[in-house]
């Protein structure tokens, strides 16, 4: 009977030794056939097949392949977003980028062995509008499959970004194992990656939704940077058209 069920439905039946001539069939824990009270009666295959069909909805091979493929693609994709204000002078953003790349390299063999496809996207946040659109609230930020690797936001004065825009600007502080860092340690990033790979299919009790409100700190950065760039353009123009300039275009 087990072989017949396997051939008909592709289901591997588990045979359990009975007693007193009782013959029973269960599907997903639900009894679908029993000869108790008529132990001399042996069921025919067609009888069992009919009962199994009533209690199961088999997928076609095509549907089964499609469902399996969709589940596999969703569970095996790791999308990492690295968002930052500056990589040219900000040492905090530079160190974060470096640690992220090293962390991915260190777990690359594990990810490959488990069939995980990693996609890394680096996003330079250049305006308040872009920050609002992406829910960017602190620089730098690392998200894995849309989830910030650090739910709480702590910031401290960043001299590099202050020099860049000409105003006081705070950048992100990372907390890992009770200590604070100006860039996320590799261990913190690796923990976040492995947590998503092995536990990402389960919804976390504590989740974060990207905010659409741009914090005052970022607004101040973009405003100051824009003014500084405008002043630099004015200085260049003034220099070119100063009385000592030999540019014939100046009057």
E-strand ranges in the chain read 24-27, 30-34, 77-84, 117-124, 141-144, 147-148, 154-157, 170-176, 179-181
13 and 108 housed in the same domain: no
Say if residues 151 and 132 touch (Cβ distance below 8 Å): no
**Whole-angstrom distance, CA of residue 140 vs CA of residue 235:** 31
**Angle, nearest 10°, between helix axes 2-9 and 45-55?**
50
Say if residues 169 and 158 touch (Cβ distance below 8 Å): yes
128 and 167 housed in the same domain: yes
Identify any residues that bridge with 154 across adjacent strands, giving them in sequence order: 173
CATH number for the domain including 137?
Answer: 3.40.30.10
Asked if the structure places residue 68 within a domain, the reply is: no
Q: Rounded to two decimals, what is the model's pTM?
A: 0.62
201's tokens? 């299919």
83 and 176 housed in the same domain: yes
81 and 179 housed in the same domain: yes
54 and 116 housed in the same domain: no
DSSP tag of 86? -
Domain count, the chain: 2
Q: Which residues contact 9 (CB under 8 A, 6 or more apart)?
A: 52, 56, 58
**Whole-angstrom distance, CA of residue 166 vs CA of residue 88:** 15
30 and 92 housed in the same domain: no
Residue-level pLDDT, tens digit, the chain, 251 residues: 677 776 666 666 665 655 566 667 766 556 667 776 666 667 777 777 777 776 655 444 454 444 444 444 444 789 999 999 999 999 999 999 999 999 999 999 888 888 899 999 999 999 999 999 999 999 999 999 999 999 899 999 999 999 999 999 999 999 999 999 999 999 999 999 999 988 754 444 445 566 678 999 999 999 999 998 888 776 655 555 555 556 555 55
216's tokens? 């005052």
Q: How many CA atoms lie within 13 A of 65 on its CB side?
A: 3
DSSP 116-182: PEEEEEEEE--SHHHHHHHT--SSSEEEETTEESSSS-EEEE-HHHHHHHTS--EEEEEEETTEEES
**Rounded to 10 degrees, what is the CA torsion of 179, 167, 90, 216?**
60
35 and 119 housed in the same domain: no
Beta sheet of 141-144, edge-to-edge order: 117-124, 77-84, 141-144, 147-148
222 and 105 housed in the same domain: yes
86 and 145 housed in the same domain: yes
Domain of residue 82, residue span: 77-200+208-234
Asked if the structure places residue 171 within a domain, the reply is: yes
**Whole-angstrom distance, CA of residue 242 vs CA of residue 240:** 6
């Amino acid at each position: 009977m087990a072989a017949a069920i396997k051939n008909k439905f592709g289901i591997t039946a588990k045979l359990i030794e009975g007693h007193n001539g009782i013959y029973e069939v269960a599907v997903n824990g639900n009894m679908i056939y029993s000869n108790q009270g008529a132990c001399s009666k042996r069921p025919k295959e067609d009888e069992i097949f009919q009962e199994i069909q009533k209690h199961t909805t088999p997928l076609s091979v095509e549907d089964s392949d499609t469902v399996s493929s969709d589940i596999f693609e969703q569970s095996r994709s790791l999308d990492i977003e690295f968002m930052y204000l500056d990589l040219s002078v900000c040492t905090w953003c530079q160190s974060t980028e470096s640690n992220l790349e090293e962390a991915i390299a260190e777990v690359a063999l594990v990810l490959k062995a488990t069939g995980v496809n990693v996609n890394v996207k680096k996003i330079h946040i250049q305006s308040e509008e872009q920050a609002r659109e992406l829910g960017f609230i602190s620089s730098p930020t690392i998200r894995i499959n849309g989830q910030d690797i650090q739910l709480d936001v702590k910031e401290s004065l960043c001299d590099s970004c202050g020099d860049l825009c000409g105003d006081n600007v705070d950048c992100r502080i990372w907390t890992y194992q009770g200590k604070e860092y100006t860039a996320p340690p590799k261990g913190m990033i690796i923990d976040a990656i492995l947590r998503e790979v092995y536990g990402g299919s389960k919804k976390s009790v504590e989740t974060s939704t990207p905010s659409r409100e741009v914090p005052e700190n970022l607004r101040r950065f973009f405003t100051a940077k824009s003014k500084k760039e405008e002043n630099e353009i004015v200085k260049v123009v003034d220099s070119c058209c100063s009385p000592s300039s030999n540019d014939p275009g100046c009057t």
